[in-house]
Amino acid sequence: MKIYIDGNYYGEEEAKISVFDHGLLYGDGVFEGIRCYGGGVYKLPEHIARLYDSARAILLDVGMSQEAMIEATVATVRENGLQDGYIRLLVTRGAGGLGLNPYLCEKASVIIIASKIQLYAEEKYRDGLTMATCATRRPAPAALSPSVKSLNYLNNVMAKVEAINAGADEGVMLNEQGYVAECTGDNIFVIKNGVVSTPPVSAGALPGITRDAIFEIGEAMGKPVREATLTRYELYTADECFLTGTAAEVIPGVRLDGRPIGDGQPGPLTREFMKLFKDSTISCATPVYT
């Protein structure tokens, strides 16, 4: 594997950052998870735009244009000979002092890893995920906007620990008002009487790239997706449920807090969304090999 760091490629053993990097010391940086399918990078401009929005929100100067970042991402996939895989793109604040002051970091660092990922076992896409509600809440917008995809993921990590300790595959996270925000690493959708709903970004949901794709697919299906304030009651009483994310793609959720969702099996509309999402991945890709 060849890893891109600040314009150069390094082997897995040689790829290193400074112990004084504020990304390591404080989680001070932003990232994107990106997929490539069939030799193309899925919705790459959208991912890069979101990365730069996150960087702007935390006053982080990436140090290169969006066009250059797109080129570097495609080149890293090509360098690793990937057809289908997962890209982790990180921008850290860079090396600085041991104090919090980010202005002591002279230059941001850009790291691009192109490899493989399997977030859930194959049978989970067939049979569905079990979920548990987490006590750990999504940060309030007054603390840090949930739209910022920062390197500080401890909140999500602790929620994931809760879910695992509860014997579940995934955890549902609520906001401070008790409304459903998202899962530990995925957006969540429910279907009731044919109506597809997902929590609004204002409830604490990350504006996911795959989430946006579901809105597009729903419109094309004649099943427009609506944003709606959801409680656990709406999840418990839903006919179907599915989760979306770059690594997870589209995957059914079939049980929450010991309660089956619908009949406890992936539903027909969920299956249709899964299929249409797969079909869309090639048409929305930036070619790597030309």
CATH of the domain at 64: 3.30.470.10
- The pair of structure tokens assigned to 19 is 């112990």
Q: How far is CA 94 from the centre of its chain?
A: 23
* CA pseudo-torsion sign 153, 156, 160, 166: positive
Two structure tokens written together for 37: 């399918």
* Contact by Cβ (8 Å): 120, 250: no
Residues 77 and 134 in one domain: no
Closest CA to 197 of 175, 173, 176, 218: 218
Are residue 208 and residue 273 in the same domain, yes or no?
yes
> Tens digit of pLDDT per residue, the chain (290 long)?
999 999 999 999 999 999 999 999 999 999 999 999 999 999 999 999 999 999 999 999 999 999 999 999 999 999 999 999 999 999 999 999 999 999 999 999 999 999 998 889 999 999 999 999 999 999 888 888 989 999 999 999 999 999 999 999 999 999 999 999 999 999 999 999 999 999 999 999 999 999 999 999 999 999 999 999 999 999 999 999 999 999 999 999 999 999 999 999 999 999 999 999 999 998 888 999 97
CA dist 23 and 152 (Å) reads: 8
pTM of the predicted structure, to 2 decimals: 0.95
Centre a 10 Å sphere on the Cβ of residue 222 and count the other Cβ atoms it contains: 6
Q: Which of 92, 115, 138 is the last residue of a domain?
A: 115
**CA separation (Å) from 215 to 32, 77, 209?**
20, 28, 10
Dihedral sign for Cα 5, 10, 15, 17, please. negative
Q: Are residues 159 and 136 in contact, defined by beta-carbon separation less than 8 angstroms?
A: yes
Domain count, the chain: 2
Question: How is 246-265 classified by DSSP, letter by letter?
Answer: TTTEEEEEEEETTEESTTSS
User: Catalytic one among 2, 16, 124, 149?
Assistant: 149
Structural domain boundaries enclosing 154: 122-280
Q: Does one domain contain both 79 and 207?
A: no
Q: What is the CATH number of the domain that holds 203?
A: 3.20.10.10
Q: Which residues contact 262 (CB under 8 A, 6 or more apart)?
A: 238, 239, 240, 241, 254
Same domain, 96 and 128: no
* Cβ-contact 131, 256 below 8 angstroms: yes
Per the annotation, the verdict on 149 as an active-site residue is yes
Please indicate, yes or no, whether residues 106 and 159 belong to a single structural domain of this protein. no
Residues 164 and 253 in one domain: yes
Could you tell me if 105 and 127 lie in one domain?
A: no
Residues 127 and 271 in one domain: yes
